[in-house]
Amino acid sequence: VLDYATGLLQETGNVRIFGTVPGKAAIISFLVDGIHPYDLAAVLDRAGVAVRVGQHCAEPLMMRLGVDGTVRASFACYSSKADVDAFVAAVRKATAMLS
Amino acid sequence: MMADLAKFEEFASTLEMIDDDEMRFEYIIDLGKRHSEEDPLPEEWKIDANLMHGCMSRVWIVDEVDEEGRHHFRGSSDAIIVNGLVAMMTEAFSGLTGQELQNLTIDQVRRLNLGALTTQRQVGMMAMLKHMQTLGRGNGRAHKGENNGASGSTPS
């Protein structure tokens, strides 16, 4: 599911994924170019997609990365490809609304 | 004299006319985009002295007082949705005297979001009202960069 989501997000373009090391936990921290993470998370929330947004208790890392924060999607054993499709569709909708 | 709240009423009645939360949300996003294009806050005003503290995104509000003692607010946020809220708040409550600002109530601010926002953002709008009321108790001397500590000058 993580690989599927990563691939779909990368296909959408203008998405910057933070952390792509092999074997990483099933999370994707990301930003969409030109869109504030809080705006993105707000639109995802309204689309029924729960993500975490902000600095994730990692302010020094965010400063090092030069970002205000990221949006983070987490997947679990019960997450399905359909969930991922809904998530990516919501990211695309949010990008269109906020650009 | 009664406070001139025509702009506030315009925003409130527009939001009341829109009968769907999703559309109200999009209206606020559009306001945020338009505000950035039509009334951008000069970059040199985006300094710590004008920052409103406690916001998840950055919000700058500048207050200037005219010769009649009326406060005129300008503001900006780096997040579009919050920028829309800043646009509404600063436009709705500009042109009031310090006393008129103190008379504004939370119920009035509630009319500016009507369920389109999360509780967190509604609380943020209340905080914005308090911040503008605090500014309204001052002389409105705007910080436009000349007092910016980042300029490198030190007080003698």
Chain B within 8 Å of A27 (Cβ-Cβ)?
Answer: no
* Both tokens assigned to B135: 């500014």
Nearest CA in chain B to A55: B56
> Rounded to the nearest 5°, which phi and psi values hold at B37?
-85, -40
Find the range with the poorest average confidence among A72-81, A85-94, B115-124. B115-124
Cβ atoms of A18 and A29 closer than 8 Å: yes
**Chain A residues with CB inside 8 Å of B25's CB?**
46
With an 8 Å Cβ cutoff, are A38 and B25 in contact?
no
* B5 interfaces chain A, CB cutoff of 8 Å: no
- B79 — contact with chain A (CB < 8 Å)? yes
Smallest CA–CA separation between B93 and chain A, in Å? 24
Residue A72 is predicted with a pLDDT of 97
Residues sharing a CB contact under 8 Å with residue B115, sequence separation 6 or more, in sequence order: B21, B24
- Closest chain B C-alpha to A98 CA, distance in angstroms: 7
The full DSSP string for A58-98 is -HHHHHHHT-S-EEEEE--TT--HHHHHHHHHHHHHHHHHH
Tell me the ipTM for this assembly: 0.87
% of chain B surpassing 90 pLDDT: 64
Contact (CB<8Å) A97/B26: yes
- The H or E element spanning position A20 is none
**3-state helix, strand and coil shares in percent for chain B, rounded to the nearest 5:** 50, 10, 35
- Could you tell me which residue, B62 or B3, shows the higher pLDDT? B62
**Residue whose tokens read 């702009």:** B7
Supply the DSSP symbol for B145: S
Q: Are B50 and B36 in contact (CB under 8 A)?
A: no
> Cβ of B82 under 8 Å from any chain A Cβ?
yes
Q: Cβ separation of B57 and A46 shorter than 8 Å?
A: no
Residue B27 has pLDDT above 70, yes or no: yes
Q: Which residues pair with B76 in a beta bridge?
A: B60
CA distance A18 to B30: 29
Residue B140 has pLDDT above 70, yes or no: no
Q: Which residues of B104-116 are buried (b: 16+ CB within 10 A; e: fewer)?
A: beeebbeebbeeb
Give yes or no for residue A11 having a pLDDT over 60.
yes
Q: Which residue of A has its CA nearest to B80?
A: A39
Average pLDDT over residues B131-148: 73
DSSP B43: G
Query: Does pLDDT of A57 surpass 70?
Result: yes
